[in-house]
Amino acid sequence: MKIIYHCVGGTHSSAVATAIHLNILPNNRVPDLDEIMNIGYFDTMQKEDLGNLFLRGIDEFGNEIYSLGRQFNKNLVLNTVKSAYSISDNNPDDMLFVDTMTTVNTLMKVGGFSSRRLHLVSFGRPIVLKGAQKAYDDMINLVKDTKEQFRS
C-alpha cells in the first residue's frame, strides 16, 4: 500500500504526519521544536516541489509513506495521481490518501504562508512550529486512525 499524506504545501502538517507514521516523531507526547525541525523536511518545500510525491519511508507494515503538496485544487491533483498510477498498470485501490488539512490551525496557516509564500522564514517558521505543536495531538490521532486500517 502507498499511503500519501497531503496538504496544501506538503511541508507542515503532512511532513509531521509522515514523521509520526514512521516513528521518527513520538506518538505519545508533543515534541520540542528542534525535534520537529530535525525530521529534515519540515518547512523546506519550494513552489516547484508542489504536485510531487516524496517517499518518506516504509512503515512497520511494509507500506510506502509519502507526502504531497497539492495546493488548493485537491481533487485535480489527487485524481491526476490516481490516473497516472492506474495507466501504469497499477491498481489505484493500492493508494490511500490522507488529508492532513483537518489538523491545521490558524497558527500553522499564518506561519506557513509567511515562511513559504512570503519567504519570511525567520518570522513564519517559529509561528508554524508552535502551531504544529498545538495541532500535534490531532496529528497523532489522524496517524493512529490511518495505521489502524492495517493492523492484522
Please give the grid coordinates belonging to residue 83: 490516473
Q: Can you give the pLDDT at residue 89?
A: 87
* 105 or 75, which is more confident: 105
Whether the Cβ atoms of residue 147 and residue 21 lie closer than 8 Å to each other: yes
Instruction: Tell me the C-alpha distance between 125 and 152, whole Å.
Output: 39
List of residues 6+ apart from 15 with CB closer than 8 A:
39, 41, 42, 43, 67
- C-alpha 95 chain-centroid distance: 15
- The upper half-sphere exposure of residue 11, i.e. CA atoms within 13 Å in the direction of its Cβ, equals 25
Query: Above pLDDT 70, what percent of the chain?
Result: 99
pLDDT, averaged across the chain: 94
| 68 sits in which H/E element | strand 64-69
List of residues 6+ apart from 34 with CB closer than 8 A:
none
For the cut 80, the answer to whether the pLDDT of residue 151 exceeds it is no
For range 9-35, the mean pLDDT: 97
Q: Can you give the pLDDT at residue 149?
A: 87
Q: Can you give the pLDDT at residue 90?
A: 86
pLDDT digits (tens, 9 = 90+) for 87-139: 988 888 899 999 999 999 999 999 999 999 999 999 999 999 999 999 999 99
For the cut 70, the answer to whether the pLDDT of residue 81 exceeds it is yes
Whether the Cβ atoms of residue 98 and residue 3 lie closer than 8 Å to each other: yes
